[in-house]
């Protein structure tokens, strides 16, 4: 019997592989996570955005990225007030409705709502529910050393959950697995930038997102299998606008929204599930793996509205992303009620205006099901660009 | 001739208001003279460092709430929304952006522009807010990142390896702030002046802690919601100032006098309440009346904990090694202010017996996810553990568009009726 959690793509043609990936991504029962647990495995759920999954992986625990879902927060609703983003509610709903069972939960100080999630989760579950205090001052000379200590604290918690110590060799092995994974994802994004006609926006999105619910070795196998097929696909380039999608660093846009956008434009770069792609190149595997991980977070990482770094003014980073992808325009979105996302929109808009880069502003909610207005507005925007 | 009661009772409110006006006059003067200010926040202001460089200190949160109290917030909010800010973000941010767009024009005078911003992570919106100033003014933005408690009850203390990891990080950032202040002001850092400022801050912390404890007495000697907000303004604005330290020594004396003479607030006290959240500034007085009309007094509030930057813990700096002690004190105090927002159920539970509490009023607001996100769940947990009765009313601290006074009154009336029924049932069962 196969030890893999997700096998239906194996030996299949490209279209079937992508179909299977979309199906798994949209399955809110998280069958791979359930199967892992059924086999006796432990699961640590980590909320968006970045999390050093290597530390959990090295303990033999499955790190699962909690990114909400297209479900109704029936049980979670009573635990929250109004005026909150959806992902906060649906992430807790996944646990309360037993769609995902955890052995530990970690959130981050990415925003005011997410930080509350640690306490909320802790009032509802007896297993460890913690905040990993990723530094919000990476510009301090002490930040890397501090983060190394914070990772050490996390490692000890993970060891308690696993019931075993994590040694440096296991950690370095996990870092190699994740380095390989990020390299494969970079390759996918290279294809998106160079030949966006070869992979639909929603397919690329699902392929990346599955990393959050699969053992990373399996995800590596999947990407290694599918990437050459995508490169070799015979899709023809069409006369479409090349856009960057910005605003999906935490709550994810509905799958159908990505599909809708992909029908009228090429999404040549984006921040979908950016936490899985946060580290930009291989993490060195030296004598002190925790320090290596900490340094990579601080010195070799992407950007998002929820990480403050004086070296990364977000609008400048976005312009760089646009230029690197040779994009024509930007869709600047934010999840409804997302304080940092909505605040960053102002900086993005003014920055793009200064650079003369066309943009389209919108909001979304993960549970949104109608996109007809959005499609119409987008088409008008695209047509204006195409026929300007 | 005034008798001792007339002379002492109400002194804190009178002098607090005067000090507050003086502080704003000083800011207005700085603005008129074109001097830059330090922009800071209530949860970790680092007034100690900034005052040692003689920098005027601006609290944009206080400026913003003043626009709501003076019922002009909507003008500022709309101006920021016209600039691109969403209706769904923090009203404090938008009122301040409106103030900046008006060149600092504010109902209490002109606010000077920032020459430096110092921001902690106690509220994540602080970071986004300061990033907006950074773009507007291209001035230094210094973050002092203060790690909070990782899980309920998980506080660490001096000597613990994780505490020391946090403390070293905070201390390095303070030293980096000092360097930036030297660059901004052109002044050399004076450690003795820092000691002097920290000594005054000690006086405020000591006074703040004593003040809060005095409300355990019956009747309560001040309203944690209305009077408390005046005291809070002084505690923040004049932190590290000799006048602030004297004010709190006098205030404690006033409250001790009231305790000794059994003088309460102007409300006859029937129900002792705790307020959880941020006040409803658009109808500040009226909101309080919804409760005082039923003889309900607010004997405590989590606001007086977190919005004082954790001064409630009463941490007093060790002046022999001021920077290390400032790091330790900031870590412990700001961490505590975060705890009183995220783990408010534990905070409120710790107040119930000592403050003889009859009910808890939760006021989650649209503007502030830091304070509001976990209130419903905390209320649920607290109710399950203690059975204390509570009221949950949503509105806002700034935006009158989401403040429904009639609806709040109905809820408050029903809450008191419930409290009365329960008290009667308890009497009958006895």
Q: Which pLDDT tens digit goes with each residue over B297-334?
A: 999 999 999 999 999 999 999 999 999 999 999 999 99
Instruction: List the structure tokens of B334.
Output: 């700001």
Which residue in B96, B126, B369, B390 has the most chain A C-beta atoms within 10 A of its own C-beta, making it the best mutation to test that interface? B369
Asked if pLDDT for residue B2 goes beyond 90, the answer is: no
Asked if pLDDT for residue B228 goes beyond 60, the answer is: yes
A104: enclosing H helix or E strand: strand A104-107
pLDDT score of B7: 86
Residue A285 CA to residue A287 CA, distance in Å, equals 7
Cis upstream peptide for A49 (omega within 30°): yes
Q: Which pLDDT tens digit goes with each residue over B383-416?
A: 999 999 999 999 999 999 999 999 999 999 999 9
Mean pLDDT of A115-142: 98
DSSP designation for B266:
S
Using CA atoms of A198, A202, A203, A206 in order, give the dihedral in degrees to the nearest 10.
150
Q: How far is B353 from chain A (nearest CA, A)?
A: 22
- Put the strands of the sheet holding B359-363 in their side by side order: B296-301, B271-277, B359-363, B389-392
pLDDT score of B352: 97
Tracing tokens 């029908």 back to the chain, one arrives at A263
A242: enclosing H helix or E strand: strand A241-246
Contact indicator for A292, A267 with CB cutoff of 8 Å: no
Please, which residues bridge with residue A331 across strands?
A245, A360
Could you give the angle at which helices B161-185 and A143-162 cross, rounded to 10 degrees?
160
CA B30, distance to chain mean position in Å, is 24
Residue B119 CA to residue B43 CA, distance in Å, equals 9
Mean pLDDT of A94-118: 97
Report the residue from B123, B343, B378 with minimal CB separation from A112: B123
- State whether A343 and B150 contact (CB < 8 Å): no
**SS3 of chain B: helix, strand, coil, percent, to 5:** 60, 10, 30
Residues of B in contact with A139 (CB under 8 A): 143
- State whether A153 and B123 contact (CB < 8 Å): no
Residues of A in contact with B168 (CB under 8 A): 142, 145-146
Mean pLDDT of A63-76: 96
Q: Which pLDDT tens digit goes with each residue over B63-119?
A: 999 999 999 999 999 999 999 999 999 999 999 999 999 999 999 999 999 999 999
Contacts of B22 (CB under 8 A, 6+ apart): none
Contact indicator for A335, A88 with CB cutoff of 8 Å: no
Tracing tokens 């502080």 back to the chain, one arrives at B23
Q: Quick check: A298 contacting B, CB < 8 Å?
A: no
pLDDT score of A356: 97
Mean pLDDT of A62-83: 95
Contact indicator for B397, B365 with CB cutoff of 8 Å: yes
Q: Which pLDDT tens digit goes with each residue over A300-313?
A: 999 999 999 999 99
Q: Quick check: A110 contacting B, CB < 8 Å?
A: yes
pTM surpassing 0.95?
A: yes
Q: How far is B418 from chain A (nearest CA, A)?
A: 21
Contacts of B382 (CB under 8 A, 6+ apart): B345, B348, B349, B360, B388, B390
> Positive or negative, the Cα torsion across A73, A79, A83, A89?
negative
Instruction: List the structure tokens of A154.
Output: 């996390």
Instruction: List the structure tokens of A274.
Output: 């950016």
Which residue in A339, A340, A345, A364 has the most chain B C-beta atoms within 10 A of its own C-beta, making it the best mutation to test that interface? A339
Residues of B in contact with A342 (CB under 8 A): 85-86, 88-89
Residues of B in contact with A345 (CB under 8 A): 84, 86
Q: Which pLDDT tens digit goes with each residue over A250-296?
A: 999 999 999 999 988 999 999 999 999 999 999 999 999 999 999 99
Delimit the domains of chain B by residue range: 4-429
pLDDT bracket for residue A3 (50, 70, 90):
confident
What count of Cα atoms within 13 Å lies in the side-chain half-sphere of residue A214? 26
Percent of chain B with pLDDT over 70: 100
Contacts of B347 (CB under 8 A, 6+ apart): B302, B305, B339, B340
Mean pLDDT of B241-249: 97
Instruction: Report CA-CA distances (Å) from B395 to A151, B277, B381, B402.
Output: 39, 11, 22, 6
Counted residue by residue, chain A has a size of: 388
Q: Which pLDDT tens digit goes with each residue over A212-248?
A: 999 999 999 999 999 999 999 999 999 899 999 999 9
Asked if pLDDT for residue A1 goes beyond 80, the answer is: no
Q: Quick check: A73 contacting B, CB < 8 Å?
A: no
Taking CA atoms, what residue in A is nearest to B139?
A310
Which residue in B174, B373, B396 has the most chain A C-beta atoms within 10 A of its own C-beta, making it the best mutation to test that interface? B373
Taking CA atoms, what residue in B is nearest to A92?
B377
Contact indicator for B248, B16 with CB cutoff of 8 Å: no
Taking CA atoms, what residue in B is nearest to A314?
B131
Q: Which pLDDT tens digit goes with each residue over B119-175?
A: 999 999 999 999 999 999 999 999 999 999 999 999 999 999 999 999 999 999 999
A257: enclosing H helix or E strand: helix A255-264
Asked if pLDDT for residue B1 goes beyond 80, the answer is: no
DSSP designation for B53:
T
Taking CA atoms, what residue in B is nearest to A135?
B145
Percent of chain A with pLDDT over 90: 93
Mean pLDDT of A119-137: 98
Biggest alpha carbon–alpha carbon distance for chain A: 63
Counted residue by residue, chain B has a size of: 430
DSSP designation for B364:
-
- State whether A83 and B372 contact (CB < 8 Å): yes
Q: What is the 3-state secondary structure (H, E, C) of A187-212?
A: HHHHHHHHCHHHCCHHHHHHHHHHHH
B142: enclosing H helix or E strand: strand B141-144
Report the residue from A113, A142, A342 with minimal CB separation from B373: A113
Q: Which pLDDT tens digit goes with each residue over A132-156?
A: 999 999 999 999 999 999 999 999 9
Instruction: List the structure tokens of A62.
Output: 């499955």
Q: Output the average pLDDT for chain A.
A: 96
Please name which of B41, B321, B346, B55 lies closest in space to residue B167, comparing C-alpha atoms.
B321
Q: Which pLDDT tens digit goes with each residue over B8-67?
A: 999 999 999 999 999 999 999 999 999 999 999 999 999 999 999 999 999 999 999 999
């Amino acid at each position: 019997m196969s030890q893999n959690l997700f096998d239906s793509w194996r030996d299949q043609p490209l279209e079937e592989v992508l179909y299977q990936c979309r199906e798994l991504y949209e399955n809110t029962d998280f069958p791979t996570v359930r199967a892992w647990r059924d086999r006796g495995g432990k699961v640590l759920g980590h909320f968006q955005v970045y999390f050093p999954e290597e530390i959990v992986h090295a303990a033999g625990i499955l790190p699962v990225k909690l990114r909400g879902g297209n479900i109704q927060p029936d049980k979670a609703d009573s635990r929250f007030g109004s005026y909150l983003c959806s992902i906060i509610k649906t992430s807790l709903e996944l646990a309360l409705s037993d769609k995902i069972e955890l052995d530990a939960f970690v959130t981050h100080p990415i925003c005011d709502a997410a930080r509350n999630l640690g306490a909320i989760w802790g009032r509802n579950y007896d297993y460890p529910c913690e905040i990993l205090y990723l530094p919000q001052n990476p510009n301090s000379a002490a930040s890397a050393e501090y983060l190394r200590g914070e990772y050490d604290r996390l490692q000890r918690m993970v060891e308690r959950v696993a019931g075993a110590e994590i040694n440096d060799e296991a950690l370095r092995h996990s870092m190699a697995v994740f380095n390989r994974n990020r390299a494969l994802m970079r390759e996918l994004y290279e294809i998106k930038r160079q030949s966006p006609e070869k992979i639909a926006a929603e397919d690329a999105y699902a392929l990346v997102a599955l990393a959050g619910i699969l053992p990373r070795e399996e995800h590596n196998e999947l990407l290694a299998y599918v990437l050459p097929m995508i490169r070799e696909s015979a899709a023809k380039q069409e006369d479409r606008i090349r856009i960057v999608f910005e605003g999906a660093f935490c709550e994810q846009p509905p799958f159908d929204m990505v599909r809708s956008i992909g029908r009228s434009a090429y999404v040549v770069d984006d921040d979908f599930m950016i936490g899985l792609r946060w580290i930009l190149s291989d993490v060195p595997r030296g004598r002190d793996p925790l320090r290596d991980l900490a340094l990579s977070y601080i010195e070799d990482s992407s950007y998002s509205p929820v990480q403050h770094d004086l070296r990364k003014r977000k609008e400048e980073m976005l312009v760089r992303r646009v230029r690197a992808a040779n994009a024509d325009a930007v869709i600047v979105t934010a999840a409804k009620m997302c304080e940092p996302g909505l605040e960053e929109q102002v900086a993005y808009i003014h920055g793009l205006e200064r650079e003369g880069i066309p943009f389209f502003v919108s909001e979304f909610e993960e549970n949104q099901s109608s996109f007809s207005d959005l499609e119409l507005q987008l088409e008008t925007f695209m047509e204006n660009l195409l026929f300007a | 001739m005034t008798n001792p009661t007339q002379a002492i009772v109400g002194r804190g409110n009178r002098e607090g208001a005067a000090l507050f006006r003086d502080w704003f006059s000083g800011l207005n003067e700085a603005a008129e003279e074109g001097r830059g200010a330090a922009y800071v926040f209530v949860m970790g202001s680092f007034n100690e460092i900034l005052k040692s460089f003689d920098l005027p200190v601006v609290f944009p949160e206080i400026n913003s709430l003043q626009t709501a109290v003076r019922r002009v917030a909507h003008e500022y909010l709309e101006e920021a929304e016209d600039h691109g800010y969403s209706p769904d973000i923090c009203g404090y941010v938008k009122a301040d952006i409106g103030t900046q767009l008006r060149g600092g024009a504010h109902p209490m005078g002109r606010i000077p522009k920032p020459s430096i911003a110092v921001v902690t992570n106690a509220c994540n919106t602080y970071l986004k807010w300061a990033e907006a100033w950074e773009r507007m003014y291209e001035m230094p933005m210094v973050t002092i990142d203060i790690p909070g408690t990782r899980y309920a009850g998980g506080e660490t203390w001096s000597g613990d390896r994780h505490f020391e990891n946090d403390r070293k990080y905070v201390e390095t950032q303070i030293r980096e702030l000092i360097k930036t202040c030297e660059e901004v002001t052109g002044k050399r850092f004076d450690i003795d002046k820092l000691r002097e400022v920290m000594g005054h801050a000690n006086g405020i912390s000591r006074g703040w802690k004593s003040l809060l404890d005095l409300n355990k007495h019956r009747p309560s000697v001040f309203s944690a919601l209305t009077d408390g907000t005046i005291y809070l303004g002084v505690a923040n604005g004049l932190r590290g100032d000799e006048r602030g330290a004297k004010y709190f020594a006098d205030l404690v004396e006033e409250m001790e006098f009231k305790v000794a003479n059994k003088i309460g607030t102007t409300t006859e006290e029937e129900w002792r309440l705790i307020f959880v959240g941020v006040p409803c500034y658009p109808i500040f007085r009226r909101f309080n009346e919804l409760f005082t009309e039923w003889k309900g007094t607010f004997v405590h509030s989590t606001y007086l904990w977190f919005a004082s930057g954790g001064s409630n813990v009463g941490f007093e700096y060790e002046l022999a090694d001021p920077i290390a002690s400032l790091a330790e004190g900031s870590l412990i105090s700001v961490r505590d202010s975060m705890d009183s927002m995220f783990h408010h159920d534990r905070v409120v539970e710790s107040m119930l017996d000592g403050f003889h509490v009859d009910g808890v009023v939760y006021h989650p607001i649209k503007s502030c996810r830091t304070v509001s996100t976990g209130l419903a769940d905390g209320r649920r947990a607290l109710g399950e553990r203690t059975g204390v009765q509570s009221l949950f009313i949503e509105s806002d601290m700034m935006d009158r568009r989401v403040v429904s006074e009639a609806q709040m009154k109905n809820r408050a009336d029903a809450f008191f009726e419930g409290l009365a029924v329960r008290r009667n049932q308890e009497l009958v069962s006895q």
